[in-house]
Amino acid sequence: MNMVEKKLSNDFYIESPLPPKRTRMQEFQRHFGQNRLAILGLFIFILFFCCAVTGLFLTSGSRPIFDPAMVRLQEKLRPPLAKPNLDSLQPQEVPALGVYLMGTDDLGRDVFARMLQGAWVSLTVGFVAVGISVLIGIFMGGIAGYFGQHHIRTDHILFTLALILGTGLVIVNYTFIGIVIILLCLAYIFYSCLARHESTEKETPVLKAVLHSNAVSVDTLIMRIVDIMLCFPSFFLILTVVALLPASIYNIMIVIGLTSWMGTTRFVRAEFLSLREQDFVAAAKALGLSNFRIIFRHIMPNAIAPVLVSATIGIASAILTEAGLSFLGFGVPPPHATWGNILSNGKNFIFDAPWLTFIPGVAILIVVLSFNLFGEGLRDVMNPKLRERH
Amino acid sequence: MTHDRPLLCVENLKVYFQSNGARAHAVDGISFEVREKETVCIVGESGCGKTVSALSILGLIPTPPGEIVDGQIIFSGQNLINLDEKAMQKIRGNHISMVFQEPLTSLNPVFTIGDQIGEAVRTHQQIDTEALFQYCVQLLNDVGIPSPKQRINDYPHQLSGGQRQRVMIAMALACDPDLIIADEPTTALDVTVQAQILALLRSIQKKRSMSVLYISHDLGVVSAIADRIYVMYAGIMVEQGNTDQIFRSARHPYTQGLLASLPSPSKRGKRLHSIPGTVPNPAYKPKGCPFHPRCRQKILSCQQEYPGMCDYGEGHLARCPVLFKPKGYPG
């Protein structure tokens, strides 16, 4: 850049004094810095992130520093900050800090170690689930918003349904019928490819006319799928799916992701609908840009702000959902600690050992709240209309 | 004028829009041509199909409601209507580019103007970053943006309306197109800026020897820049000719009405003329001549038939039933 500027300074461009330039990052910092709650949210989020990452290293391995699975039955239900009774413990059973920072549970396991282990679960569940849901949401919403007016032909819908039916039959062991249906579909593709070349005949038979008629628009199809998905009470849908699938943290992430993309889809579609009609999109088309470039380079950056905001809030709700599932015993399988199942275990001793429920509960509250505050701060900064008011 | 080879030739273009069961004949069989190095203006009221015809040249008519029903758009030997999307993308911006009406909304708010001009270049050419930067600065300088090296990193909201329109023109110029379509580029600007933009367009056109298709409803602007003028009414060309012919000896009653509505020093203190009524709904046009309900010179046959263009020599054509009959015929 310096070289270019030197070269250009010899030329006779009209120069006039301008106010000092701020980069985009500086602008962002300036506006974000004014929102103290958002800064607090970001700070807690970074703290949580660090805890989760260090917690992952400190609690895993064959001889972890904080062992969340170490059972000390003689030390059960000790309150927070209690000193361990060194006489009754083996040397390797003594907690690393020399104190039960957050007490012990009914099996004498160190709650601090279990919270550290659970933090990583919450973090990954939040990010992976929301990542999945945002990706699906942007994709579906973008298609519905940008290509919404295009129609899908009846034969394409029938063909897709038949293909799904065929695959389903193969999976549930009706192999022969399934394969026949799939082969029929392939034959239809082959036939329609052939027919395209000789489509000069003017008279079309009724069947062909029906098959080639426009059934629904892309927009209708996608938004009705969204409506259908929204009709299910999603927590119970997740419960059902988790009950059917083997219990594993990855299944839970995927299931939460697959059942929470509808809001993002609606957001993105709405943004695309209004942005698509903007003059700058027409101008981009008039410059000869392809649809792909227009969608991803011109419309997406304008549409991304509300998606990011809803994503940060979505992370919070994914953490909550995971905690809820673990609380109900459908979450991550028991030896592994999560905030939800610490809470769930603790509820049996809520009067004897209230810290077992309070500590994970307050942790969930703080993390979820910090994500929400951070998300709202982001929204204020990223929306130029709100920004001007500062 | 020595530039006789037609660069763009539109023949009998018909663009219809389907809406609520009715079929709006937005553009109903217009023909016009733009020759090399020539400025052609299309003049008409709001809603007469000017913008639709401009968009259909670039193939930007939204296709579910709109449809090019008939006609040819021949651009340097190619019929643009038959081209597929890929081929059209090579033409847009590269050979034909467009300047839009609203400079305030035609720039993407999230990118710097340098990014956007650069993108226009990079879409059609291979160019390295440093050369691109210099080229963009050069373009901004050409369109008269002060201190272009610093301004290149500005966002659209940091520029004034006139500057944004200059940036739009720079984007349109980026690939050195043969034809620029300017769709009312000065409508949203105030009068002094308007004059600057017009002067800029003219000087650039001379320097780069391009053709300009200028679309406007403002006869004052048109008289300043046009070589030839087409007057459009309700999707139909009603009169065409060079600037002198249109402004000195307009034949069509509509053109005469438009000219009479222009303010001028000689009409100082008097009431301005206005054409009664409004443009007909493009879905329900009157039979015969579309202008006859508002025409002061209408005769009986206006309601039944609509003859073709009548040639008055030297490229001056008008399309009006009255002109075929002696004047003063009882109406």
What domains, with CATH codes, occur in chain A? 41-149+232-387 (1.10.3720.10)
- Percent residues over pLDDT 70 in chain B: 96
Residues 287-326 of A with CB under 8 A from B: 287-290, 293, 297-298, 301-302
Cβ atoms of residues B226 and B243 within 8 Å? yes
Closest CB to B58 among A4, A7, A286? A286
Cβ atoms of residues A342 and A356 within 8 Å? yes
Tell me how many helices (H) and strands (E) chain A has: 17, 2
Distance CA A243, CA A240 (A): 5
Cβ atoms of residues B62 and B3 within 8 Å? no
What domains, with CATH codes, occur in chain B? 6-95+177-324 (3.40.50.300), 104-176 (no CATH)
ipTM for the whole predicted complex goes beyond 0.85: no
Determine the pLDDT at residue A224: 92
Residue A25 contacts B where some CB pair is shorter than 8 Å: no
Residue A20 contacts B where some CB pair is shorter than 8 Å: no
Q: What is the dihedral of CA B102, B108, B111, B117, to 10 degrees?
A: -60
Q: How many CA atoms lie within 13 A of B118 on its CB side?
A: 16
pLDDT tens track, chain A, 390 positions: 444 444 444 444 455 555 566 666 777 777 777 778 888 888 998 999 998 998 888 888 777 778 888 888 887 788 788 787 777 777 777 777 778 888 888 888 888 888 888 888 888 888 999 999 999 999 999 989 888 888 887 878 888 888 888 888 888 888 888 888 888 888 888 887 776 655 555 556 777 777 777 778 889 999 999 999 888 887 888 888 888 888 788 888 888 898 889 989 998 999 899 888 888 888 888 888 888 888 888 888 888 877 888 888 888 888 888 888 888 888 777 778 888 888 888 888 888 888 888 898 899 899 888 988 888 888 777 765 555 544
Cβ separation B108–A284 shorter than 8 A: yes
Cβ separation A283–B106 shorter than 8 A: yes
Span B272-331, pLDDT tens digits: 888 888 788 888 888 888 888 888 777 777 777 777 777 777 778 888 777 664 444 443
Reported pTM: 0.75
A:B CB pairs within 8 Å:
91
What tokens appear for B72 in the block?
A: 């040819």
**A301: which chain B residues are within 8 Å (Cβ-Cβ)?**
108, 110-111
Span A162-195, pLDDT tens digits: 888 888 888 888 888 888 888 888 888 888 777 6
